[in-house]
Structure 1
Amino acid sequence: MTTTDIRETPAPEKPAHRDGNVLRWLGAYSASAIGDNVFYIALSWAAIQSGSPAQAGVVMAVSAVPRALLMLGGGVVADRFGPRRVVIGGDAVRCVAVFAVAGLLLGASPGVWLLAALGFVFGVVDALFMPAVGALPARITGRGQLARVQGMRGLVIRLANVVGAPLGGLGIALGGSATAFAVAGLLFAVSLPLLVGVRVGKLPAEAGPQGARTAWSELGDGLRYIRRHRILAPLMVVVALADLGFVGPLNIGLTLLADERGWGASGVGLVLAGFGAGAGGSALLLTVRGRLPRAGVVLCATCAVGAVGIAAMAYVPRLPVAAGVALLVGLLVGLTGALSAALMQTEADPAYIGRVTAVGGLVSLGVAPLTYPLTGWAAGIWGTAPVFTASAATCALAGVYGLCSRGLRAAELPTAPPRP
């Protein structure tokens, strides 16, 4: 495989959406993301069929624990061995594990603990896989194209959410959980040859010996690097506060709110569709434009204004109005997330990008899901409106903190170099 030194070779001049290397990565990411959605539909269905509702909840939540515990280590692994190798290995392990469970389901009904073990394996793999996925774009295209790549990635995430659930349901309807697991495994398998064909830049540090440094020392180096960085340090605080304020209302609070208002499951679907459309619109904006001026200010401002929409959702009585508010929240918060990811990619030194990505994703992917019981408990005591308001205040605090940071306020995305 041919590699180039990304510190010495100019970035590709062609736009990311016309770069075959980026498109191969995008195809692999699409197959893997859709496979993720199919997998969790199949896992939840198999868990419900095999145990009690409480046991099914444990099966679905068990993957969050290894993600929270191992995510930072996953960033070290991505930086030490290269994100491409880790992503290929992660999809290969997931493919084998899912096909194995699908085969077992054909012969017998699995116990709930087997399904919990499968969820745990996915959590461990995700802890290594997700930082590598976040670190890979910086190694396959130029800095000026990273915002566009994040927009393309956001569109894929929305596509996977729209396509994955119906595809998983179709697999269950045709042949039960075994068929749905097999579909997920097939999608993971499709991603592998595409990933093998992706060319990555080679860092100078990779050309020589790695030395005897331990993973702990490399992790410490990464954390110190972030803490001393004038943009990344405040950006991590903004990302953490925004995720803690947003994830609970979206995943738990919305269901409780719909139950209070009598909107039913279709109402939840409509509000989520509004959010998804808004987030997809922000991803499309970045894909088309490639960058936004004054990215740091826009990031923080959209976070603060989006917080107003989060609070408003708890007080609008009519479902169509709630869906409209969700559309606005999705547009604003989606833009916040896309710009955050793009700034992490462009501001981080390539040698630290895996660890930077791991810290950025730790709260949303590892810690925030563990707050779901707290969100439900608080809503049961005080009601959904105070919970939404408190969550919105946390998001607003994130935006205000970012605007108070001189470094983050001045942050800009790089401009793509002109084509010769």
Structure 2
Amino acid sequence: MTATVLGAKERPAHRDPQVLRWLGAYTASTLGDSVYYLALSWTAVSSGSPAQAGLVMAVSAVPRALLMLGGGVIADRLGPRRVVIASDTARCLVVLGLAATLFLASPGLGALAAVALVFGVVDALFLPAVGALPPRIAERDQLARVQGMRGLSHRLGSVLGGPLGGLAVALGGPATAFGVAGTLFALSIPLLSALRLRPLPATDDTRDGTALRDLADGLRYLRGHRVLGPLIIVVLLSDLGFAGPFNVGLAVLADQRGWGASGIGWILAGFGTGAGAASLLLTVRGRVPRAGAVSGWTMTLGATAIGVLAYTTHLPVAVAVGLAVGLLAGLSGALCNALLQTECDPAYLGRVTAVASLCSLGLAPLSFPLTGAAIELWGIGPVYVVSAAVCALAGLFTLAVPALRRAELPR
């Protein structure tokens, strides 16, 4: 065992079997997510009205937001590997069960909503645990590279998952698509089971109290940390400013400019290419000097690009601006994640990741209806400018807090 650990220290992350197993499992799970959500939306639209389908798709957001902090406590108490394996096993069984049901009958929207509800609960467990895994399988000086690899995997899942799900629906209907998603979740389980986690230092083990006390300890740790506390504020501000323009606003912008749905696709493709390039850069370099300052500046410049997008009249220019946003926001986001993982005591990482995930996946979507209502009242230009200002505030806050601005990734 000692020889294995010492050998792993000599390998960069992209050659470490531990990291590659985790990356393979994460890729399979991400692909499964993409296929599942496409199949769910298609089945819901086919089984009811668009409004009903929207409700089905939104059902998972409620338990995910409400239970996320508890999921962080569970990840720290039980260990992230165990929680991720249980989560993917639950998703596999539920989705394969739905696939079998669709082969035999035509369940109504209630069954789809029940599956979506289960997914929301599982996501509340999965997201903190998957974020807590990298520091337990890789050296600290490799965590930035691991975040780059994770970003590439996420982009791969987003790019390939949609067409794969669409092909499965076209060939065999929603039941086949759900079957493909369940199979992908199943592929991650043996890879995760083969992982060997680094043990936590005995002095850092905080799992002796109740779950509520552990949660309170985690929040106190986060609040008192000179880098992590401000970093969570940055995550919240940047995601609040970014979520509305690139989810609600982009559709309105494409409609007003006459670009159509294909225009949205091209802009998102540009964004995805830029974000993928940022992840590739981090994967290859492994470390960015002055990570805190670089994150602040790229966040601020990315915010400027978001504001410019609202006043772009030609689609090729909009695609180029989307690429710039993806490159800058992708790099700043990956650096924030890497700093979170390197600065945090591994014993608290599940809870800290849960708070960060709650800010980005639980609170940021609340801006969707506000963005839509604001566009109707004031038009798309002012709303994009305000959203860009919120993102810029996150970048300027990063540069204004000395501990965050001077934060470095380990060598």
- Bin of the TM-score, shorter chain as denominator length: over 0.9
Partner of 2:171: 174
Task: Report whether the alignment pairs 1:394 with 2:395.
Answer: no
TM superposition shift of 1:209: 9.9
1:302 to 298, 303, 317: 298
Partner of 1:200: 197
TM superposition shift of 1:370: 2.9
Q: How does 1:36-47 map to 2 (within 5 A)?
A: 36-47=33-44
CA distance 1:327–1:47, shift in 2 (3 Å)? same
| Cα deviation code 1:177-206 (max 9, x no counterpart) | 111000000000011111111111111349
Cα distance in structure 1, aligned partners of 2:274 and 2:390: 21
Cα distance in structure 1, aligned partners of 2:205 and 2:240: 41
Instruction: Read off the aligned partner of 1:124 and give its amino acid letter.
Output: V
Range with bigger deviation, 363-372 or 345-354:
363-372
Cα distance in structure 1, aligned partners of 2:310 and 2:65: 29
TM superposition shift of 1:375: 1.5
Cα distance in structure 2, aligned partners of 1:250 and 1:185: 29
3-state SS in 1 of match to 2:122: helix
Partner of 1:123: 120
Cα distance in structure 1, aligned partners of 2:345 and 2:325: 32
Q: Do the aligned partners of 2:94 and 2:115 also contact (CA within 8 Å) in 1? A: yes
Cα distance in structure 2, aligned partners of 1:223 and 1:243: 20
TM superposition shift of 1:414: 0.2
2:32 to 14, 35, 39: 35
| Cα deviation code 1:190-230 (max 9, x no counterpart) | 1111111111111134998943x111111111111111111
1:265 to 261, 268, 275: 261
Q: Do the aligned partners of 2:206 and 2:347 also contact (CA within 8 Å) in 1? A: no
Instruction: Read off the aligned partner of 1:203 and give its amino acid letter.
Output: L
TM superposition shift of 1:371: 2.5
Q: How does 1:180-219 map to 2 (within 5 A)?
A: 180-205=177-202, 210-211=207-208, 213-219=209-215
1:140 to 137, 140, 156: 137
Partner of 1:354: 350
Partner of 1:18: 15
Q: How does 1:288-367 map to 2 (within 5 A)?
A: 288-367=284-363
Q: How many residues align?
A: 411
Cα distance in structure 2, aligned partners of 1:399 and 1:5: 41
1:81 to 78, 88, 92: 78
Q: Do the aligned partners of 2:205 and 2:347 also contact (CA within 8 Å) in 1? A: no
Q: Do the aligned partners of 1:64 and 1:369 also contact (CA within 8 Å) in 2? A: no
Cα distance in structure 2, aligned partners of 1:70 and 1:282: 31
**TM-score under structure 1 normalisation?**
0.95
Cα distance in structure 2, aligned partners of 1:282 and 1:119: 32
Q: Do the aligned partners of 1:67 and 1:366 also contact (CA within 8 Å) in 2? A: yes
Cα distance in structure 1, aligned partners of 2:216 and 2:133: 22
3-state SS in 1 of match to 2:9: coil
Q: State the Cα RMSD in Å.
A: 1.8
Q: Do the aligned partners of 1:3 and 1:199 also contact (CA within 8 Å) in 2? A: no
Cα distance in structure 1, aligned partners of 2:245 and 2:356: 20
| Cα deviation code 1:373-412 (max 9, x no counterpart) | 2221221222221211111010001111111101001100
CA distance 1:85–1:250, shift in 2 (3 Å)? same
Q: Do the aligned partners of 1:79 and 1:353 also contact (CA within 8 Å) in 2? A: yes
Partner of 1:418: none
Q: Do the aligned partners of 1:148 and 1:291 also contact (CA within 8 Å) in 2? A: yes
Instruction: Read off the aligned partner of 1:106 and give its amino acid letter.
Output: F
Instruction: Read off the aligned partner of 1:26 and give its amino acid letter.
Output: L
Cα distance in structure 2, aligned partners of 1:293 and 1:373: 39
**TM-score under structure 2 normalisation?**
0.97
TM superposition shift of 1:122: 0.5
Cα distance in structure 1, aligned partners of 2:184 and 2:376: 40
Partner of 2:95: 98
Cα distance in structure 2, aligned partners of 1:376 and 1:251: 10
Instruction: Read off the aligned partner of 2:36 and give its amino acid letter.
Output: F
- Structure 1 unmatched runs, 5+: 416-420
Task: Report whether the alignment pairs 1:225 with 2:221.
Answer: yes
Task: Report whether the alignment pairs 1:60 with 2:60.
Answer: no
| Cα deviation code 1:130-188 (max 9, x no counterpart) | 00000000000100000000000000011001100000000100111111000000000
Cα distance in structure 1, aligned partners of 2:193 and 2:284: 28
Cα distance in structure 1, aligned partners of 2:3 and 2:334: 27
Percent sequence identity over aligned pairs: 64
Task: Report whether the alignment pairs 1:408 with 2:404.
Answer: yes
Q: Do the aligned partners of 1:148 and 1:288 also contact (CA within 8 Å) in 2? A: yes
Q: How does 1:364-383 map to 2 (within 5 A)?
A: 364-383=360-379
TM superposition shift of 1:356: 1.0
Instruction: Read off the aligned partner of 1:227 and give its amino acid letter.
Output: R
- Structure 2 unmatched runs, 5+: none
